[in-house]
């Protein structure tokens, strides 16, 4: 038992310099974008959708965009097709948070309260929303969006 304790102590002493030589954990990378940049882009997407500006809407998103909703998973073309059937009268954002897990990735969460119809059905209410924006070729593009109606 005494021999094992001595060997353990020697192993700890031998490993200590290696552990202490490790660099400090890096701080999260700073992004060139700010929270307001991402929030403004998200609002621009909502405005383009509201005003049925398909070209402006498509220009804000990655060609690999994916939307996840209760009714299914949508591509960018699916979102544009739904735009024609929707009537978004007004909306507002609350509890907006933007995180940058990487300098070229922004994750935005918020509550959206909206008055709208889709396919003639009233879909007004408050929704918990999440979006991911990625920087591609120096431009921020929407890559993912999801929303769930608050019960």
CA-based R_g, the chain, Å: 23
Per-residue confidence (pLDDT) for residue 58, from 0 to 100: 97
Whether 81 has a pLDDT exceeding 60, the answer reads yes
Question: Hey, what domains does the chain have and what are their CATH numbers?
Answer: 2-149 (3.10.450.50)
pLDDT at residue 4 above 50? no
Q: With cut-offs at 50, 70 and 90, classify the pLDDT of residue 33.
A: confident
DSSP string, 47-110: HHHHTT-HHHHHHTEEEEEEEEETTEEE-HHHHHHHHHHEEEEEEEEEEEEEEEEETTEEEEEE
Model-level pTM? 0.78
What region, left, alpha or beta, does residue 24 occupy, with left being phi > 0 and alpha being psi -120 to 50 degrees? beta
108 versus 19: which is more confidently predicted?
A: 108
Question: Of residues 87 and 14, which shows the higher confidence score?
Answer: 87
């Amino acid at each position: 038992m005494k021999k094992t304790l001595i060997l353990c102590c020697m192993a700890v002493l031998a490993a200590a310099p290696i552990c202490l030589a490790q660099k400090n954990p890096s701080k999260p990378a700073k992004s060139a974008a700010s929270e307001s940049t991402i929030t403004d882009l998200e609002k621009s997407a909502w405005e383009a959708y509201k005003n049925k500006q398909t070209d402006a809407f498509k220009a804000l998103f990655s060609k690999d965009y994916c939307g996840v909703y209760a009714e299914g998973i949508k591509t960018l073309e699916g979102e544009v097709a739904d735009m024609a059937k929707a009537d978004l009268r007004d909306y507002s954002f609350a509890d907006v948070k933007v995180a940058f897990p990487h300098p070229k990735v922004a994750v935005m969460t918020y509550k959206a309260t909206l008055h709208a119809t889709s396919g003639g059905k009233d879909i007004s209410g408050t929704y918990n929303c999440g979006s991911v924006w990625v920087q591609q070729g120096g431009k921020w593009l929407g890559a993912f969006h999801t929303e769930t109606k608050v019960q």
